[in-house]
Amino acid sequence: AQSVTQLDSHVSVSEGTPVLLRCNYSSSYSPSLFWYVQHPNKGLQLLLKYTSAATLVKGINGFEAEFKKSETSFHLTKPSAHMSDAAEYFCVVSDPSGSARQLTFGSGTQLTVLP
């Protein structure tokens, strides 16, 4: 069985300050991990994914995430928030089978960016 926990349901940052969205997972396997973003009235968009290559993964729009097996974490970061980053972010874990059924979503973190 696998699970994913997003530790903050809401995060609020000022524009230009760093963003940290936290995600912890549990899995019996070596998982694949993803971050998706959903802007208002838009579909879920893949930001980045980890699939057992480099532990530091760079994604779109300046986001990156680091896979830390010892901490079972996959936190999402960005050095400097932009107003357009305001959205809901989902951490997702998948088992190695790659089955779509085995995609487990976190409960989401709503990011607010203050001017």
Partner 1 sequence: EPEVTQTPSHQVTQMGQEVILRCVPISNHLYFYWYRQILGQKVEFLVSFYNNEISEKSEIFDDQFSVERPDGSNFTLKIRSTKLEDSAMYFCASSRRQGANEKLFFGSGTQLSVL
| Identity at 92, one-letter amino acid code | V
Question: Which DSSP category does 44 fall into?
Answer: E
Please compute, for residue 63, the number of CA atoms within 13 A of its CA located in the half-sphere on the CB side: 24
Q: Which residues pair with 6 in a beta bridge?
A: 23
Binders in 58-97 for partner 1, by CB under 8 A? 90, 92, 94, 97
How many residues line the site for partner 1 (CB under 8 A)?
25
Under rule CB under 8 A, residue 42 binds partner 1:
yes
Q: Are 55 and 33 in contact, with CB atoms under 8 Å apart? A: no
Q: Which of 35, 106, 111, 113 binds partner 1 (CB under 8 A)?
A: 106
**Interface with partner 1 includes 53 (CB under 8 A)?**
no
Residues found near partner 1 in the complex (CB under 8 A): 32, 36, 41-46, 49, 51, 90, 92, 94, 97-108
